[in-house]
Chain A
């Protein structure tokens, strides 16, 4: 009787000690993640809700917390159809369309092309790869200023070619309201295509050489090899690259400012420029918030199908 009792007494504290310890161990990841989780909840999702809230107020210089309805959205909606002369909002969203489409498309095409060329087991790949990758290490401000000088007809390319004697050469897109957005595409592509190339290169290296050999034995031409085997195998890379590029495109702000300072008559604006301009310079915080919400919805429209497809495939 007494032995049983002592053993029980002995056992209980030991058990509880191990259980405290193991419980702590179980909780450790949660404790470590808690601060960043809290920060994300407050500073990302909290402020998203706050921005949505503000977009329904009549906030001007300072936030105001009285809901006054959807006037900000109505104004944006009205501006969406102001095409002649183009309203700043219309310019911003059409530019977003042009820029986003060309930027993503050219980056993907150029990145894949460069990666395929680099994958031909050439000499000096170790030197070439960082050269293409390097622009990604620069900030958009540096890229913007460098290209601004390079594309300026009075300073850069045009001036240099004129000095070399090709005086009929003419390239003034950066000064032209109809073409300035394409210079943003050029600078953006220069910056990001090397990074996309690195992604594709990693993908190409991951393809099993045996498949390629099998295809060659079957008599596939190089073009067929890439068209039918390599590119389809790279599908996940395409998806990742697309997501990276899409969010880079939609948050481009500094590139436009540094490269064009808004362009002639504001013709190079992107929605992010519109948002900053209205919120902080024009003291129309409600309109700025509404435009930010619309930008968010655009991103959601892209990201959610991606997440859906990712999460759906997991259980298999």
Chain B
């Protein structure tokens, strides 16, 4: 009797023990890719992981957007309940890494050769203190023009190569009675456009100094004043109702032919695709005039948290699958962005995607790949938002002159630093 009991206990303990030692075959993921194309793109990753036997579990976020997700993540981390990974942007990754809650994927990174294939500028956000803490999913770039080809043909326009060309093109559209520039008057959209304007006006060196290094002299220079003047010039070509408009509604104006062009990141391409438009025949994608050869990027990352040991295998599997060439290609074809590693074949991409991949490679090699300040890849959120405030107040007239704008910009950035 006693023996039986002992054996029973021993067996039960060993079961419990082995169950504890076995890896959890589940990936817990916090993200806000829930709409159409993005959800479809993510299903590719779910499928890849299912093949390796890992179940996918979404961490529910009420409210949908990125802000709600980040608030939820903050609460989870504060409670010590880390997800396997979370969709994260820019400085958020570094903030969490500095708080010591991120995992370490350096081993996997070495094995998979991420050091060489992921652009150095991106590694600034995915590597903290020599350790890989995040897996970049894609590279978006911001300095694009999206043009309705039918309207372009009607007004007889050609690709603008300089800022003055661009203004001339906008004038033509105005004369033809089309809204020249589709803009959504929300601060991030205005600032995203201003990123491109600054790169175009001051060139790559200037952009880096002003918006990545936050160099005071550059921020208050005449070139910055000229950039604000150029922005003011562009704003004269928008329709009177632009204020507060969502970016996808501005894209829709271009798709429908109500407007000629939108300055927006390459996520706008997803809207064209959803409307069954093809690049080259229905719409055109050009680099913002005067910025060819440089890329202003932002990137979605999967931040990897310091999960318990039994969940690490699942995390490694997720990271490996995320940066696998097949997923990078399949995902980014749908998302409109380009792969986060430069050695992915571009065969499945459309014309704009191919150009994006080539541009990224060139910019990476030439050192002209810069983080977008408006998208939070140029400076920490406090500075980036102070910048958006100033640009938006300038566009909407609270700040009246470019002199004042420059003074305010320096003041706001210093205050937020």
Contacts and interface: CB of A to CB of B under 8 A. Distances in A.
Interface string B67-79: 1001100100010
Interface in B9-67: 67
B99 interface: yes
B240 A281 contact: no
Interface string A77-88: 000000001101
A261 B245 CA distance: 9
A215 to B, nearest CB: 52
B241 A152 contact: yes
A274 B186 CA distance: 16
B243 interface: yes
B398 A267 contact: yes
Interface stretch (B110-118, B351-359, B379-387): B379-387
Contacts, number: 84
B70 A266 contact: no
9 contacts: A75-B415, A85-B398, A175-B241, A177-B398, A263-B243, A265-B397, A280-B74, A281-B67, A283-B380
A154 B394 CA distance: 23
Tell me whether chain B's interface is mostly helix, strand or loop, or mixed: helix
B408 interface: yes
A175 B243 contact: yes
Interface of A: 60-62, 75, 85-86, 88, 152-154, 172, 174-175, 177, 260-267, 277, 280-284
B187 interface: yes
A266 B393 contact: yes
Interface string B288-321: 0000000000000000000000000000000000
Interface residues of B, number: 36
B244 interface: yes
Interface of B: 67, 70-71, 74, 78, 92, 95-96, 99, 185-187, 240-244, 380-382, 385-386, 389, 392-400, 404, 408, 415-416
Contacts of A265: 187, 389, 392-398
B232 to A, nearest CB: 14
B134 to A, nearest CB: 16
B186 A261 contact: yes
Nearest to A62: B99
B186 A266 contact: no
B192 to A, nearest CB: 15
A263 to B, nearest CB: 7
B241 A267 contact: no
